[in-house]
Amino acid sequence: MTSYLVDDHSSFDGSLPVPEASPQVSQSTAVPPIHVAVVESDAAARARLAMQLGSGVFDYEHFGDFAARLGGTPTIVVLGPSCADPQHLSSLAAVLQPRPEVGAVLVAEELSTELFQQAIRSGVKDVLAAPVDTAQLQEACRRVAESVGAMGRPSDGALTDDEEGDRGRVITVFSTKGGAGKSVVATNLAVALAQRTDEVVALVDCDLQFGDVAVMLKLAPQHTIVDAVGAIDRLDPGFLQNLLVTHPPSGLRVLPAPLEPAYADQISAEHVRTIIATLRRVAKYVIVDTPSYFDDKVLTLIEDCDDVLLVAGMDIPNIKNVKIGLQTMRMLDTPNSKIHLVLNRANTKVRLDVSEVERTLQIKAETQLPSDIVVPQSINKSAPVVLDAPKSSIAKAFETLADRYIPAKTKKKR
């Protein structure tokens, strides 16, 4: 029997709970009860999806019936395979896009680039392939629950018109392959920029499970991004600035990743968006290190930032992953002018030519970083190579990259 989302007794009973707040996260950030619904015309498929989600789930044969019952309550809706055709997807946008409190997960018989693109543009948060594993479906709903639960909070990091002109520049450093040198690029660029200006330069480690920024800069942080999430409802520039740890040699301000991987699950894309938006009001430049995969937080960072430094190594698996990453960003309408390819170890003699890589990726390598033994040496010293070996070829390449943002002639002497 179909149930209705707006009934007083209809709160979801917890069989699909959102992650509980950790001891480091304020209870004020706890997500309120979230309704869960399934929409699917095939009765057997609808029943199977509802069973996978547990008790207390509302089921609808038609999306129109579901939409008619929406009452402003945070809601997760799982859309079955019958909703995956283009006609259904086009009708979803009118309901989902104006309602940030509704998060949709689409289960489709066949995944394709066109389907994924249309679903995301229609307001769907995640797309899964049928038949979907129960744990995978519940995990997707948990992720979406975090984003819809964060909607409507007063502190969303939005800027007033007066503050808009003072926004700092956000540079997201991303790679689709681990070991490409992403964190090395992020830390050295951030340190180089911090040395060139008296204004605040901030580095945020958004590799929330295995971030290495604090280790690479030899920092022992008292606060991490978890503390910012714990105060998300009252987060302001002054409070956030107090959480940043200073890198003494350069003056760089750092917001490290959580000290334990388990805390990563309690940080949502909306949390990240609020923190970065607030940092824009604190720092002239905000450099963000990321994990080597796409998730809702990375997609949010790519969407909100001013520049994406896409780091690639000189090997076939790396180039293959970068090409997929580029296709994904283009599919999500990321402007080409925003994406800047950084080729790491570009002079390595591996029978792979830079021009061949550029031709494969259909993008020019704006920055080429040479292979240099001083890089692993500096990493093992927990010292950025631009400070540890400033005359090396790789340090000069990082200085050239920094020239893109602050010309060397204005370099500040510390």
- On the 0-12 / 13-18 / 19+ scale of CB atoms within 10 A, 210 is middle
Distance in angstroms (rounded) separating the CA atoms of residues 363 and 340: 8
Q: Which domains does the chain have, with CATH numbers?
A: 27-149 (3.40.50.2300), 161-410 (3.40.50.300)
DSSP assignment letter at 33: P
Q: Residues of 251-277 as b/e, b for ≥16 C-beta within 10 angstroms?
A: bbbbbbbbeeeebbbbbbbbbbbbbbb
Entry pTM: 0.60
Q: What is the pLDDT of residue 133?
A: 87
Looking at this protein, which amino acid is placed at residue 297?
K
Q: 3-class SS at 205?
A: strand
At 170-184, the pLDDT tens digits run 999 998 888 788 899
At 213-241, the pLDDT tens digits run 999 999 988 888 988 888 888 788 888 88
Enumerate helices (H) and strands (E) in the chain, giving the number of each: 17, 13
DSSP assignment letter at 7: S
> Which of the residue ranges 18-27, 117-126, 405-414 would you say has the lowest mean pLDDT?
18-27
* Cβ atoms < 10 Å from Cβ of 55: 11
Q: Look at 98 and 383; give whichever has higher pLDDT.
A: 383
At 317-330, the pLDDT tens digits run 888 888 888 888 88
What band does 23 get if pLDDT is binned at 50, 70 and 90? very low
Distance in angstroms (rounded) separating the CA atoms of residues 250 and 404: 19
Over 60: is that where the pLDDT of 153 sits?
A: no
Task: Work out the mean pLDDT of the chain and round it to a whole number.
Answer: 81
Over 80: is that where the pLDDT of 2 sits?
A: no
Looking at this protein, which amino acid is placed at residue 309?
L
Q: What is the pLDDT of residue 149?
A: 59
Q: The sheet that has 102-108: what strands, in order across it?
A: 58-60, 35-39, 75-79, 102-108, 124-129
At 263-320, the pLDDT tens digits run 888 899 999 999 999 999 989 999 999 998 888 899 999 999 999 999 988 888 888 8
Q: What is the pLDDT of residue 170?
A: 95
Task: Please give the sequence-ordered ranges of beta strands (E in DSSP) within 299-413, or none if there are none.
Answer: 307-312, 339-344, 365-369
Over 80: is that where the pLDDT of 350 sits?
A: no
Distance in angstroms (rounded) separating the CA atoms of residues 227 and 229: 5
Q: Is-contact 247 254, C-beta < 8 A?
A: yes
Over 60: is that where the pLDDT of 36 sits?
A: yes
Q: Is-contact 315 352, C-beta < 8 A?
A: yes
Q: Is-contact 300 277, C-beta < 8 A?
A: no
